[in-house]
Each structure stands twice: as structure tokens, then as C-alpha cells.
């Protein structure tokens, strides 16, 4: 059982995707404010929805998750945190989003998607493989669900950044904000966090953060992401 901010809790059963830096960093990056309707694509045990609801008392999150065990865990996390009026989990293939929702139903989409495809991916857990939804299909689903001017927030691997931006552009999702996350100052980027906006004009801003200093001590970015008071 993980304790999140504002006393929310998250339970991830064995075999389900656990709470990771990827999700914590993505929730921090998104910083969704106000009564926004959010669609979590590949929502697992409801991790991102819980993180967003813990920070924002007004947002509403619908999650779409294919794995039945993770979906059941999400329902229990929603019940235990008394979020029934603000969160839901739908057990379905996310490629069915056009059947599940009318176009433009959401202000925002968010996703911590599978990172890997091809032969190497066969050795990884299913939550890390694009077996059930490719990156191209993910972009199509987000573009369908978002209203004009809505934002899609996602986290991915640096080596696939060009592909993410190109596929977004093909679906009228313009890259507007990019954050590079390094585990240690001066080290290589470990993750990229991207905000794409439906129907927006070109124009990209760049941010960089590091989780640890050269001496191994944690940075204020780390403290903010993990909700630890600053020194």
C-alpha cells in the first residue's frame, strides 16, 4: 500500500504495474487545474487518476484499462479513497475509445504508455509492451477524445521523442511543452514528458529537471514530485 499526498492511498496487486517515477513525474508535469474532465489511457490500477485527484479537488478522471486484474484494483482504489463521484475505471481495449466516448468529450488526456516494441519488447512485462496499442493508435485515441484546444500529457523514452512528436502532428496534436528528466545533474535524459495540444500552432518550450545532484543528494524537483518538504 502506497500513501500519496493528502492521505490518498494506492494499492497495486502483484503482477500489476507499480507506482514509479514515471507516473509521479507525469502527474507533476501535467498539473491539471480546475474542474477538467480527464481521460487516462491505459490507466492500470488508477495510479495517475489518484495522483491527479489528490492534487486537484475538482478534476474528474475516467480510466480505460484492458487488464482485468488492474481494473479490479482500480475500482477498489476508487472506493477506498471515496472517489466514486470523480473517478471511474472502464475495462476495455483503449483502441475502442471512439466507441466508448463521443469525439471531444475530454479537456485533457494523460498516459504512461508502453515504451517498447519489436523483438526486445518480448522479454518485458506486458505493461511495457505495445502489444495491445501502438504509439500511433494511442495518438489517434487521444486526438478523438480531446476537445479542440485540449491537452495530451504523456511520458516516454528519449529515443522515441521524434516519433512521438511526428505521430502527434499527424493527428493534429502539436507539441507545446517538453520536459527532460535526468536522474542526476549532468547525466543523460532518462525520460521525456510532453504536452501536446489539439489544433494548436507550432511553438515548443523546453524544460529540464534533475532528481539528484552530483553528490547524490535529492534536488527540490525531486522533493516537489514526491511531495517532500524542501530543506
Question: What are the tens digits of pLDDT across the range 197-206?
Answer: 999 999 999 9
CB-based contact 121:129 (threshold 8 Å): yes
- Grid coordinates belonging to 67: 487488464
Beta strands in 94-226 (DSSP E): 106-111, 146-156, 173-184, 189-198, 205-212
Q: Answer left, alpha or beta for residue 32, where phi above 0 means left and psi between -120 and 50 means alpha.
A: beta
Angstrom distances, CA of residue 216 to CA of 45, 150, 184, 185, 219: 31, 38, 8, 9, 9
Residue 123 neighbours by CB distance under 10 Å: 9
Residue 101 CB-half CA count within 13 A:
27
Summarised one tens digit per residue, pLDDT across range 71-83 is: 999 999 999 999 9
- Grid coordinates belonging to 147: 476537445
Q: What is the largest CA-CA distance in the chain?
A: 51
What is the distance between the alpha carbons of residues 156 and 139, in angstroms, rounded to a whole number?
13
Q: What is the pLDDT of residue 119?
A: 45
- Which residues does 229 contact at the CB level (< 8 Å), separation at least 6? 223
What is the distance between the alpha carbons of residues 176 and 151, in angstroms, rounded to a whole number?
9
DSSP 8-state class, residue 182: E
What is the distance between the alpha carbons of residues 224 and 160, in angstroms, rounded to a whole number?
26
Per-residue pLDDT of the chain (231 residues; tens, 9 = 90+): 888 988 899 999 999 989 999 999 999 999 899 999 999 999 999 999 999 999 999 999 999 999 999 999 999 999 999 999 999 999 999 999 999 999 999 999 999 998 766 544 444 445 455 676 899 999 999 999 999 999 999 999 999 999 999 999 999 999 999 999 999 999 999 999 999 999 999 999 999 999 999 999 999 999 999 988 876
Percent of the residues in the chain that have a pLDDT greater than 70, as a whole number = 93
What distance lies between CA 123 and its chain's CA centroid? 23
What is the distance between the alpha carbons of residues 146 and 150, in angstroms, rounded to a whole number?
5
Q: What is the pLDDT of residue 116?
A: 64
Helix (H, G, I), strand (E, B) or coil at 78: helix
Strand partners, 3: 9
Amino acid at each position: 500500500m502506497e500513501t500519496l499526498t493528502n492521505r490518498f492511498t494506492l494499492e497495486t496487486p502483484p503482477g500489476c504495474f507499480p507506482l514509479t517515477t514515471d507516473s509521479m513525474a507525469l502527474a507533476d508535469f501535467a498539473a491539471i487545474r480546475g474542474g477538467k474532465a480527464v481521460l487516462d489511457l491505459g490507466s492500470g490500477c488508477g495510479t495517475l487518476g489518484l495522483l491527479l485527484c489528490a492534487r486537484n479537488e475538482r478534476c474528474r478522471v475516467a480510466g480505460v484499462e484492458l487488464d482485468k486484474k488492474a481494473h479490479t484494483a482500480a475500482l477498489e482504489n476508487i472506493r477506498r479513497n471515496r472517489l466514486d463521484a470523480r473517478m471511474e475505471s472502464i475495462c476495455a481495449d483503449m483502441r475502442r475509445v471512439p466507441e466508448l466516448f463521443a469525439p471531444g468529450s475530454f479537456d485533457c488526456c494523460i498516459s504512461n504508455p508502453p515504451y517498447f516494441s519489436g523483438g526486445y519488447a518480448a522479454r518485458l512485462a506486458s505493461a511495457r509492451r505495445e502489444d495491445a496499442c501502438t504509439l500511433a493508435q494511442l495518438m489517434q485515441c487521444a486526438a478523438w477524445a480531446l476537445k479542440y484546444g485540449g491537452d495530451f500529457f504523456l511520458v516516454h523514452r528519449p529515443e522515441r521523442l521524434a516519433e512521438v512528436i511526428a505521430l502527434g502532428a499527424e493527428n493534429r496534436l502539436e507539441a507545446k511543452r517538453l520536459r527532460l528528466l535526468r536522474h542526476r545533474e549532468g547525466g543523460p535524459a532518462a525520460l521525456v514528458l510532453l504536452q501536446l495540444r489539439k489544433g494548436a500552432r507550432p511553438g515548443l518550450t523546453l524544460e529540464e529537471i534533475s532528481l539528484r545532484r552530483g553528490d547524490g543528494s535529492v534536488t527540490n524537483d525531486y522533493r516537489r514530485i514526491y511531495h517532500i518538504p524542501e530543506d
